[in-house]
């Protein structure tokens, strides 16, 4: 298990930085270190299920902690955007909010759904397409999905249920920048013919927000398929 000084962790980590010197750093896994929390931080610092690392390990060894439907037993396992955390009979989804990532409580039905944004595609020798998702996972698919689209993934069957297209009229949530956590409707995509990223224009109430296209995450059309609130915590 790797540790890190609390003063060096990302700003969005909801931890006390002065009372203790170290905390558990994310291990290599589905999310990069700069965009992830650890199971230990969630159990001890966020949800307060444990006071010590020993108590965290006891919960993990009991097999009641699941990430996206899979039991996890490592305190440093990284968890990030859109991951579904199950602790016994309680469920949470990690969403972007004003201060960074936070946990939103879910009911059992919604906890079965995980949204995965397509960030890349690779053709295989067998004629299929390997899709790369924002959470570091991959999947072989026959259908020609587009980068930027979001799949609705069933964490129990491990299959894609549907696809949310990144197109005009879709509800989106902002995952980076000054408007992080903002929920709006995609109005327009502007293709930039340079090294700069393409641009999205989204409606948020009666105003328009312009930001890089890769800052948004599609949630559904005509309504979001998951609960997100308005402008998150």
Q: Residue ranges of the domains in the chain?
A: 3-106, 111-164, 171-220
Instruction: With a cut of 90, say whether residue 72 has pLDDT above it.
Output: yes
Q: The domain 3-106: what is its CATH number?
A: 3.10.290.10
Which superfamily is assigned to 111-164 in CATH?
Ribosomal protein S4, central domain (2.40.50.740)
- The CATH class given to the 171-220 domain equals mainly beta
Confidence (pTM): 0.87
Per-residue pLDDT tens over the stretch 8-66: 455 565 655 556 655 666 667 777 767 788 898 889 888 989 888 899 999 999 999 99
- The C-alpha atoms of residue 39 and residue 86 are separated, in whole angstroms, by 11
For residues 134-163, average pLDDT: 90
Tokens of 87: 């602790």
Per-residue pLDDT tens over the stretch 193-203: 888 889 999 99
Q: Which helix (H) or strand (E) holds 122?
A: strand 113-123
- The C-alpha atoms of residue 165 and residue 45 are separated, in whole angstroms, by 36
Whole-number pLDDT of residue 98: 84
Whole-number pLDDT of residue 4: 56
Which of 223, 225, 193 minimizes the C-alpha distance to 93?
A: 225
- The C-alpha atoms of residue 132 and residue 142 are separated, in whole angstroms, by 14
Which of 87, 1, 101 minimizes the C-alpha distance to 47?
A: 87
Share of the chain above pLDDT 70, in %: 86
Using 50, 70 and 90 to split pLDDT, how confident is the model at 7?
very low
């Amino acid at each position: 298990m790797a540790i890190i000084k609390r003063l060096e962790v990302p700003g969005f980590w909801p931890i006390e930085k002065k009372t203790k010197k170290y905390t558990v750093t994310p291990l290599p896994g589905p999310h990069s270190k700069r965009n992830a929390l650890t199971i230990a931080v969630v159990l001890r610092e966020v949800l307060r299920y444990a006071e010590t690392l020993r108590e965290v390990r006891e919960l993990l060894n009991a097999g009641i902690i699941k990430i996206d439907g899979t039991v996890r037993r490592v305190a440093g396992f990284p968890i990030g955007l859109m991951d579904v955390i199950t602790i016994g009979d309680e469920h949470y989804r990690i969403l972007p909010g004003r201060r960074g990532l936070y946990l939103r409580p879910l009911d059992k039905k919604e906890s079965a759904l995980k949204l995965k944004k397509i960030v890349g595609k690779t053709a295989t020798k067998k004629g299929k397409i390997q899709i790369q998702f924002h959470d570091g996972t991959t999947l072989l698919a026959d259908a020609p999905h587009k980068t930027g689209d979001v799949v609705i993934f069933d964490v129990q069957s491990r299959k894609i249920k549907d696809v949310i297209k990144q197109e005009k009229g879709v509800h989106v949530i902002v995952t980076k920048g000054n408007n992080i956590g903002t929920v709006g409707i995609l109005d327009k995509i502007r293709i930039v013919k340079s090294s700069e990223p393409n641009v999205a224009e989204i409606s948020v109430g009666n105003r328009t927000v312009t930001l890089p296209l890769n800052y948004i995450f599609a949630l559904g059309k005509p309504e979001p398929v998951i609960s997100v609130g308005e402008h998150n915590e």
